[in-house]
Amino acid sequence: MMNAISSHSDQYPPLAPGLYLVATPIGNLEDITLRALRILRSADRIACEDTRQTQKLLNHFGIATPTVSYHLYNEGLRAQELMTQLEEGSRIAVVSDAGTPGIADPGHELVRAAIAAGIPVFPVPGANAAVNALIASGLSTESFTFHGFLPAKEGQRRTALEQVPRGQETHLFYEAPHRILDTLSDLEAVFGATQPVVIARELTKLHEEFLRGTVSEVHKQLAERPSVRGEMVLLFSPSPQETAVPTRSIAVEVDALMQSESLSEKDALKRIARERGIGKSEAYRELQREQSRRR
Ligand code: SAM
């Protein structure tokens, strides 16, 4: 345990008034930065997603700054209180349970309010699950999209995946362990069993693990475990559209997909439209034309 340093220590110049967004570790306490510790020590107040969770971190580093809860359910109300203090010249640090505040975590509302009121906002960089999953994934880091959490409901999740564009870009999602198998099944239905994926699990922790392979291989690997646990990031980069002229008619492809993958006609059409790079209504009209020619 380190010694607490008072907020008015001679060791450091006083903090400028404003809002400090302080990243905290996502598993490994060594990932706190020296600057984060100084700001957490010197701030007038720390707004935390869960005060009990943050208190463990503060105790570990011997920091005695008062905390206040600031989470999804009181974000609006608490933002007003914190804004009053910021307008009076306070130094408020915002932390989430883990990682970077505002990234799939509270923080954004306060940032917007502070900017609107002309209060300085200072990012204090540190751990973030998405960026660290990306850099070690082996997938392209040149262009990427972070989507946050996928919808929990199956239909909405499938639709969200269907909207992921094909191309060179890497797509990143946060996913809960109890949903990952269903999500991989959806991914397989939308992009095919050979779509490569990466799952970054328990980053920076003792059991850190990267699962890399086709979506069906990774699904099999996880499904064989007695239980699927841990925090995870899902990454993939759907391969670009094949430009080759399709050799099979849409009607034949729809029938094949309905039989082999038990898709509804609508889902089969959506998949084919995506694979051919045409709109759903265009695919539907073509299907109707083919069906009328068959009659
Ligand atoms: N603000 C955090 C950040 O900067 O990464 C994310 C918070 S979000 C509520 C929590 C999700 O982030 C988890 O469900 C998981 O998807 C991902 N995550 C957090 N820590 C992780 C870790 N150590 N390894 C893998 N994923 C992690």
Residue 243 resides in a domain: no
Q: Is 137 in the pocket of ligand 1 (CB under 6 A)?
A: no
Confidence band, pLDDT 50/70/90 cuts, at residue 284: confident
Cα 283 to chain centroid distance, Å, stands at: 33
Q: How far is CA 89 from CA 39, 45, 61, 155, 229, in A?
A: 15, 12, 26, 48, 44
CB 23 within 8 A of CB 102: no
**Same domain, yes or no: 118 and 160:** no
| pLDDT tops 50 at residue 35 | yes
Mean pLDDT, residues 83-107 taken together = 97
Q: What does the pLDDT read at residue 89?
A: 97
Shared domain for 121 and 16, answered yes or no, is: yes
Q: Where is the domain boundary, 96, 127, 158? A: 127
Q: Are residues 135 and 103 in the same domain?
A: no
Q: Is residue 65 part of a domain?
A: yes
Q: HSE on the CB side for 232, CA within 13 Å?
A: 26
Cβ atoms 170, 139 nearer than 8 A? yes
Looking at the structure, tell me whether residues 203 and 278 fall in a common domain.
Answer: no
**CB 105 less than 6 A from any atom of ligand 1:** yes
**Element at 158 (helix H, strand E):** helix 154-162
Is the pLDDT at 282 greater than 90? The verdict is no
Domain tally, the chain: 3
Residue 158 pLDDT > 50, yes or no?
yes
Same domain, 158 and 94: no
Split at pLDDT 50, 70, 90, the class of 246 is low
Q: Does residue 36 lie within any of the structural domains?
A: yes
Nearest atom, ligand 1, residue 133 CA: 25
pLDDT band of residue 273 (cuts 50, 70, 90) is: confident
Same domain, 138 and 214: yes
Query: Do 174 and 138 lie in a common domain?
Result: yes
Give yes or no: residues 15 and 117 share one domain: yes
Q: Judge whether residue 237 has pLDDT over 80.
A: yes
Residues 6+ apart with CB under 8 A from 144: 134, 169, 170, 171, 172
- 161 belongs to a structural domain: yes
Residue of higher predicted confidence among 104 and 268 = 104
State how far the alpha carbon of 54 is from the alpha carbons of 48, 93, 99, 138, in Å.
7, 12, 12, 33
- Quick one: pLDDT at residue 252? 84
Distance CA 202, CA 209 (A): 7
Domain encompassing residue 192: 130-236
The chain-wide mean pLDDT, for the chain, equals: 90
Assess whether 110 and 211 both reside in one domain: no
CATH number for the domain spanning 207: value is 3.30.950.10
| 176 shares a domain with 98 | no
Can you read off the two tokens belonging to residue 127? 């751990």
Q: How many Cβ atoms from other residues are within 10 Å of residue 257's Cβ?
A: 19
Confidence grade of residue 244 (pLDDT, cut at 50, 70, 90):
very low
Residue at 244 is within a domain: no
Sheet of 232-236, strands arranged across:
144-149, 170-175, 232-236, 196-201, 209-214
| Residue 11: pLDDT band with limits 50, 70, 90 | low
Q: Tell me, what amino acid is at 168?
A: Q
User: Residue 20: left if φ>0, alpha if ψ -120 to 50, beta else—which one?
Assistant: beta
Asked if residue 245 belongs to a domain, the reply is no
- Distance, in Å, from the CA atom of 295 to the CA atom of 274, rounded to the nearest integer, reads 27
Say how many Å lie between the CA of residue 99 and the centre of ligand 1: 7
Q: Note whether 86 and 117 are within 8 A (CB).
A: yes
Six token digits for residue 11: 């060791």
219-230 pLDDT, tens digit each: 999 999 999 999
| Helices then strands, each counted (H, E), the chain | 11, 10
- Is the same domain home to 261 and 181? no
Pocket flag, ligand 1, residue 100 (CB < 6 Å): yes
Whether residues 116 and 186 share a domain: the answer is no
Answer yes or no: are the C-beta atoms of 45 and 85 closer than 8 Å.
Answer: yes
| 192 belongs to a structural domain | yes
Answer yes or no: pTM beyond 0.85.
no
Over 60: is that where the pLDDT of 242 sits?
A: no
Our answer on whether the CB atom of 53 is closer than 6 Å to any ligand 1 atom is: no
Q: Which CATH number is 83's domain given? A: 3.40.1010.10
Q: Is the CB of 94 under 6 A from ligand 1?
A: no
Is a pLDDT exceeding 50 seen at residue 274?
A: yes
Amino acid at position 97, single letter:
D
pLDDT given at position 294: 67
Q: Which residue among 201, 232, 234 is best mutated to probe the pocket of ligand 1, counting the most ligand atoms within 8 A of its Cβ? A: 232
Of 12-16, 84-88, 208-212, the least confident = 12-16
Residue 99 pLDDT exceeds 70: yes
